[in-house]
Structure 1
Amino acid sequence: MSEFEPTIIAFVCNWCTYTAADLAGTARMIQSPRVRLVRMMCTGMVDPKYVIKALLSGADAVLISGCHPGDCHYINGNYKARRRVKLLSEILTTFGFDPRRLKLTWVGASEGNEFAETVNHLVEEIKELGPSETTAIEAL
C-alpha cells in the first residue's frame, strides 16, 4: 500500500505569498509538489465558500497565505482574512472537517524559504491527520 500523499489547495496573495512561492521555485528550494496554488489579488478576497468547496471537493487541507499584517497592498485585506478564518475554523466541524485542515499564514515577498518551509510543514501535518473524510454533502 502506498503512503498517503495529501492534496492541499493554497489561496495566496498576489503581492507577497505568490511572489515568495515564485522565489522558492526559481531558487530551487525543496518543497512539496502536493500544494496547488490559487493566486488571489488579496487574502481578503478569499470567500469562505471557496474553502468549504475545496474541502468538499476532496482537498485534504486549505492554506490561506498573504502579506504580513500591516503590509497589505489593500490596506486591511489580511485583517479581513484573519477574521474570516477564525470564524470559518469554528464552523468547519459542522461540515465534518477537522479545523486543523485550515491554516492561515503570513509570508512576505522576499521570504521564499519561509514559503517552502510552510508548505512542507503543512504537508507533514496533514499526513499525520490522514486523508480527509468528506462526510458532508458531496456537492454544493
Structure 2
Amino acid sequence: MSEWEPKIVAFLCNWSSYAGADFAGLKRLKYPANIRVVKVPCAGRINPKFILSALRHGADGVWISGCHPGECHFVEGNYYARRKFALLKSFLEHTGIEPGRIHFSWILATEANKFAQMAQEVVDGVKALGPARHFIKKQAEV
C-alpha cells in the first residue's frame, strides 16, 4: 500500500504567485505534484466559500497566495485577503478544522525558489495533520 499524500488546492494570484509557480516550472525546480492550482485575478477576490467548498469536496488543505503587501496589482486586494482569511482561519478552528490546513503566503512572480519552498512547506504541514476528517457535509448528505 502506498503512503498517503494530501490533496492541496492552491488559489494563486494571476499577477504574482501564479507567475511565480510558472517561473518555478521554467527553472525546473522540484515541488510536490499534489497541489492543484486555481488561478484567480487577485487573492482579495477569493470568496471564503471557495475554501469551504474545496475542503467539503475532499481537499486536505488549502493554500492562498498573493502579492506582497503594498505591491498588489489591484492596489489593496492583498490587504482585503489578509483580513478575510485571518477571520476564516479562526472560524474554521472554532468549528474543529485544524488551522494548519489553511496556508497563506505572499509570493512575487520573480520568487520561483520561494514558491517551490512554500509548496513543500504547505504539503509537509498538511501531511503532518493526516487526512482531513471531511465532516463538512455535502448538500446531498444533509
- TM-score w.r.t. the length of structure 1 is 0.96
- What's the % identity of the aligned pairs? 44
Q: Distance in 2 between matches of 1:45 and 1:24?
A: 24
Q: Distance in 2 between matches of 1:48 and 1:21?
A: 22
Q: Which residue of 1 aligns with 2:11?
A: 11
Query: What's the secondary structure of 2:85's corresponding residue?
Result: helix
Compute the RMSD of aligned alpha carbons. 1.2
5+ long unaligned stretches in structure 2: none
- Indicate if the aligned counterparts of 1:24 and 1:115 stay in contact, CA closer than 8 A: yes
Pairing 1:104–2:104 present: yes
Q: Which residue of 2 aligns with 1:54?
A: 54
Q: Distance in 1 between matches of 2:79 and 2:15?
A: 16
Q: Distance in 1 between matches of 2:29 and 2:60?
A: 23
Q: Which residue of 2 aligns with 1:39?
A: 39
Q: Which residue of 1 aligns with 2:120?
A: 120
- By how many angstroms is 1:127 displaced? 1.0
Moved over 2 A (4+): 93-96
Q: Distance in 2 between matches of 1:126 and 1:136?
A: 17
Q: Which residue of 2 aligns with 1:138?
A: 138
Q: Distance in 1 between matches of 2:96 and 2:48?
A: 15
- By how many angstroms is 1:67 displaced? 0.4
* Residue 134 to residue 95, structure 1, CA distance change in 2 (3 Å): farther
Q: Distance in 1 between matches of 2:55 and 2:117?
A: 23
